[in-house]
Amino acid sequence: MQWWEALEQGVSQDWMSNVGLLLLLSAFLWGGWLLITRHLSVAAGKTRLVWDDALVGAVRRPVSWLIWLWPAALSAGVIIENTTAYSAAFLAVVRHLMLVWTFIWVLLRLITNAENAIAATAKDVTTINAISKILRLFVLVLGGLVMMQNLGLSLSGILTFGGVGGLIVGMAAKDLLANFFGAIMIYFDRPFKLGDWIRSPDRQIEGTVERIGFRMTVIRTFDKRPLYVPNSVFSSIVVENPSRMLNRRIKQKIGLRYCDAAVVGDVVRDIKTMLLQHPDIDTNQTLIVSFDNYGPSSLDILIYTFTKTTHWVAYKDIQQDVMLKIVEIVRRHGAGFAFPTTTVHLPEHALVTEGEPASEVL
C-alpha cells in the first residue's frame, strides 16, 4: 500500500523501475483478462440467454483499454514528477474520467449488443430501435454530467444555465426539435415500422421504410432511390400503410356486346361460381358479380372480390388467372367483349343528289 501511494503521488525514488513494473503489470493483467473473457464467451455461448453474450462482448474491449491506459497515466505521473518541475495532480482527474468513460462505454456497447440480439428475432424492430436510442441518450447525458462534476463544475449551475440556454436553443432550432418530436411520435404511435411500404396521398412519398432516425426517415422508393423525409412532415400529412392490408382487391369491369344481352345473366352466374370455387379468393370478404350499367357501346358487368394473399407478385398472378377464366366463360357462352363503336344511320333522301332520281343513286 505504501508503494502504491508513493507511486500515485510520484515521489518514488526508483521511478524508472516502477514504470517498468507498471507496464509489466499491465501486460500480465491484459493477458489474464483475455483468458477470462475467452472462457466467459464460451460459457455464455452455451446458454439461451442473450444478455450474457451481450455483457461479455460489452466489457471486453473497454476493460482492455482501461488495463493499459490506467497504468500509463500512473507512469506519466511518475515521469512528470521526477523529471520536470510541473505537478502531475491533474492526472488524478484524468484517471477518474477514464473510469467514468469506461463505464459509459460498457453501457453503450451493452445496449447495442442487446439491441442486435433482440432485433434478430423480434417482430417489432422499430420499437426496439427507439428504446435503444433513448437509453443511449440517457446514458450519454448522465455520463456527461458525472464527468463535468469530476472536472469541478457545479451541476446546479449547469442545470440552471441549461434551462435558460435550452429555451434559447429551442427557439433557434425549432425545426430540429420538431423533427425530434416527430420521431418520438413515429416511435410511439407506430404508423409504420422498418420494412413497411408506405405512401402519402398528400405528397409524392412512396416506398419502403429503410431507417427511422431522430431527424429524418429514409424511404427507399421503388426505383431504388433514397428519399429523405424530415420527421416533422409526418405530423401534418396523411400516411397510408399498404403493408398492413389484410387482402388485395380485384376490381374490374367487363363489357359485353348489346347483341349478347340474352346471355348476360348466364355469364354473371358462371363468373360468380368460378370466384367462389377459386382457391386463392377470400370468400369471407365482399364478393360482387353483377350486371352494373348500360354503357354507350357495352353491357357492363362489375367484378369485385379480394384475394387471400397480400404479396404483390402473387396477387398479380391470381388476378391474371381470374381474368383469363373470365375470357373463357364469355367465349363459352358465345358472347364477345364490346369495344367503342359508332353506328351512323343515313336516311335515303340524304343519298339523293339534287336533280337525280333516287333509284340511280342507290
Q: Copy the grid coordinates of residue 254.
A: 367487363
Question: What pLDDT does 171 receive?
Answer: 54
- Amino acid letter at 227? L
Task: Tell me 351's DSSP state.
Answer: G
Residue 281: name the closest of 248, 312, 308 by CA: 308
So where are the chain's domains? 2-171, 175-243, 245-332
Answer yes or no: are the C-beta atoms of 263 and 284 closer than 8 Å: no
What pLDDT is attached to residue 362?
Answer: 39
Q: Is the dihedral of CA 291, 294, 300, 304 positive or negative?
A: negative
Question: Mean pLDDT, 10 residues at a time, over the chain (362 residues)?
Answer: 56 61 78 83 76 80 83 72 66 80 88 80 70 83 80 66 55 67 80 88 88 87 90 87 90 92 93 94 93 91 94 93 95 89 71 51 40
Cα separation, 176 vs 153, in Å, equals 28
Give the span between the Cα atoms of 28 and 8, in whole angstroms.
20
Amino acid 141: pLDDT: 83
Backbone angles phi and psi of 248, in degrees to 5? -110, 145
Q: Which pLDDT does position 167 carry in this prediction?
A: 55
pLDDT at 252: 93
Q: How far apart are CA 273 and CA 286, in angstroms?
A: 14
Q: What are phi and psi of 18, to 5 degrees?
A: -65, -40
The DSSP line for 116-160 is HHHHTT-S-HHHHHHHHHHHHHHHHHHHHHHHHHHTT--HHHHHH
Topology of domain 175-243 in CATH is SH3 type barrels. (2.30.30)
> What CATH number was assigned to the domain covering residues 245-332?
3.30.70.100
Residue 249 C-alpha cell reads as 382487391
Within 8 A by CB and 6+ apart from 272, the residues are 287, 289
